[in-house]
Structures are given as structure tokens and as C-alpha cells.
Amino acid sequence: MTREQKVVEQSDLLPLLFAELDSSKGLTVFDVGPAVPETVDFFSQFKCRLFFADLLSDLSAEKDPDDGKVDFGELLTYPTETRFDICLFWDFLNFLDVEMLRAFNLAITPYIHDETRAHCYGRFSRRSPVMNQQFGIKKIDEVVVRNSNVRLPTCYPHGYADLRDIMGCFSFSRSMLLREGRLEILMYAS
Amino acid sequence: MFDKRKDNEGDSSALSVQREDPRAAIESATKTSAVIGTKIQIEGNIIGDENLIIEGKVDGTVEVRSKDLTIGPSGQVTANVTARIVKIDGTVKGDITGLEKVTISKTGKVQGNIVAPRVTLEDGAKFKGSIDMDPGEATTHETPRTSLKSPSKPKPVGDQPSDGVSANTATK
């Protein structure tokens, strides 16, 4: 895949994210990545509120060289009544070290409710590469993957067990090994 | 400060149509837009009832509720904006309300919250913030294209293998 190209991947777990989800009252969706056309288009058929955080750009741009940390409490400031039905973390968690991962878990917890479900990509092993890519939902069972040219921060590939142990606000449900050691993971609020 | 620009300005074929077809002439006459040029900078509130194109800088609020608003490629708007249809080719920092539709084109850059029945992002558009969409509020009612029906939510399976790959793991 060249820089400009995008590919569409089938996802067996993505449909489970939407299982038994009542969209009639409106969906609240948190996407940790940048807004991509496909995701906006996909959700445009529903009454919904989408939050695009684009945290990776904050992580690259605002990283304090003194301590290398970002304050997720400052970055994730949404109206107090906000509760996400769906969280799309994509591969963002692999750019957080253990300490930052804990901080992210704490920052996201106030916005989680009992039925929140989440999707992320971990890595099969810590040696599995983390690519510079952006993700979006094209269809209920299709993910669009684009090569990105944003400057990447240091990456910390996390395996299933690492993520499960640290992301305490979720219980890990199912995972699927994809190509290049990418591990697709489905989570539910715990 | 505001220029008037006809959409078919300089188009001789369109002018000949005007002479021949009165209806087309009326339609063309109503398709005028106020333009804030590239070298204009406005601090304050803009409220109007005609189509508006912003190519310059605006700080404040922009409200053309029943008309269309275009932020041109050189437009830089730091304001909350409201219009029937909003098209962004430039930069906007602020909240955007599109009573029918909001489109961010490939050169558009938006930081703020969007409320509109329909929102379209073109490839390359930059957006950070929230989008409130309700297709039921659009003037053209469309039924959802995709059902959310899918397999039932599985029960959490508890501890996974230490490598994190569950029994249904498959390599694609």
C-alpha cells in the first residue's frame, strides 16, 4: 500500500460492536483518531454524536520533552453528561507507555456507561510493528485503512494481556489476529 | 466591503440563456452571493439573508440562516457560524450549525462542533471536535442504509490465553 492508497479490510469483530445497540435514541461515539470521510458517512445514517479526538496529533505535537507525557484530563474534556456508547481506539493505545495507558484509562472512565463497547488494535507480540495508519468504518463489517504521514510519537506495541491488565474500565471479550501482527480486540464496559 | 458576484459572471452562454428563458433569468438573478474578499478582515457579527462567500478573515459570528455560506480556500473564520448549507474549503475555528448540510472539502480545516442533519467530509479534510447528526431532521428523509442488526453480544470469555489470542483467532 503506497502513501496515498487506502485499503478496505473485512472485520469479523466490528459487527459485534453494534450488536443489540439501540440506535433509535441516538448514538454517542468516541473516535480517538482523526475524522475520516468513511466514518462520518457511515454514522450519518443515524441520529448520533461523534467525538473525534485526534489524540495522536496531540501526542506528537504537545508532548512535553521534559517528561514525555500528555495530560489526558485536559485533552478529554467533554460535557459531564457525555457517555460513549461506542469507543473506537484503533491502534492509539500502542503509542502510550504503561503509565500513559493508565492515565488514558482513568481519563476515559467517566465517559463510560454499563453498555459501552470498544474496539482497538493491540499487537500479537511486542515485536509486531506499529504502522503509520489511519482507520475508519466503511460498513458495519468493513474497516478502511489509510497510510498516514503524520509524525508518529514513540510506539509501545501492547499485547492482549498488557492491555487487558491496564485498561481496567473494560473487560476484554474477543480478539482476532490480523496481518502484520495486528490484533483486533473487542471490549465491553466492566 | 461586500462585492456582489453572480454565479454565472463572465459566462456568455449563461447570458444568452437569460435572454431566451425568463425563468432561468429569474433563477440566475437570485443566485447572487455577497463576497468578503481575500484582503478583508472583519471583527464582529455578520447577519444576513443572502448567500455569502468568505475569502477573507472573520472574527465574531456569521449567520445567514436561510442561505448558503461558503468559506473559500483562503477564508479564515474564528466564529460560530449558522447557515442553511455550509461548505468549508478554508479554515474555521468555532461551532458550525448547518440547517441542511455541512461539507468540509479536501482543503478544509475545522476545529469545533458541528450540528447538522447531514455532514460530509471529503478525503483530506481536517476535522477535530464533535459532529451532531440527525438525518431525520433533514429535508429529504432517507431510511437508514445499514441495519445495526448483527450477531448477539457475546459474553466475555474471561481470561484469555497469555498471548491474548482467543480460540476463534484467525490470520487474515
How many Cα atoms sit within 13 Å of B160 on the Cβ side? 24
Q: Does A178 sit within 8 Å of B172, measured CB to CB?
A: yes
Instruction: Give the closest of B129, B150, B163 to A15, CB-based.
Output: B150
Q: Considering only alpha carbons, which residue of chain B is nearest residue A39?
A: B121
Does residue B21 belong to any structural domain of this protein? no
Residue of B nearest to A136 (CA): B123
Distance of alpha carbon B76 from alpha carbon A188, whole angstroms = 42
CB atoms within 10 A of CB B77: 28
Q: Which residues contact B4 (CB under 8 A, 6 or more apart)?
A: B32, B33, B34, B35
Question: Running DSSP on this structure, what letter comes out for residue B49?
Answer: S
Residue of B nearest to A35 (CA): B127
Query: Does the residue B157 lie in any domain?
Result: no
The residues of chain B scoring below 50 in pLDDT are 1, 6-19, 25-30, 139-146, 149-172
* Number of domains into which chain B is organized: 1
The SS3 assignment for B80 reads strand
Residue B8 is assigned to a structural domain of this protein = no
**Strand, coil or helix: A83:** coil
**C-alpha span between B133 and B69 (Å, rounded):** 19
Residue B9 lies in a domain: no
Substitution target in A142, A158, A175 with the highest count of B β-carbons within 10 Å is: A175
Q: Are the CB atoms for A115 and A189 separated by under 8 Å?
A: yes
Q: What is the pLDDT of residue A20?
A: 84
Q: Is residue B156 part of a domain?
A: no
State how far the Cα of A163 lies from the Cα of B156, in Å rounded to an integer.
15
The nearest CA of chain B is from the CA of A1 a distance in Å of 16
Contact A178 B171 (CB under 8 A): yes
Residue A149 has a pLDDT of 84
Residues spanned by the domain of B42: 30-139
B168, part of any domain: no
Which pairs with CB-CB distance under 8 Å and at least 24 residues apart come from B63-67? B65/B99, B66/B99
Give domain status of residue B144, yes or no. Answer: no
Which of B161, B167, B168 shows the shortest CA–CA distance to A159? B161
Max Cα–Cα distance, chain A, nearest Å:
47
Q: Residue B153: which of A19, A124, A190 has the nearest Cβ?
A: A19
- Look at the pTM and tell me if it is higher than 0.90: no
Put simply, the answer to whether A35 touches B131 (Cβ < 8 Å) is yes
What percentage of chain A exceeds 90 in pLDDT?
69
> Which candidate, B130, B8, B2, B10, places its Cα nearest to that of A111?
B130
Considering CB atoms only, which of B121, B128, B133 is closest to A54? B128
The three cell numbers of residue B22 are 425568463
Is B170 part of any domain? no
Q: What is the pLDDT of residues A59-101, one digit of tens each?
A: 877 555 455 578 898 899 999 999 999 999 999 999 999 999 9
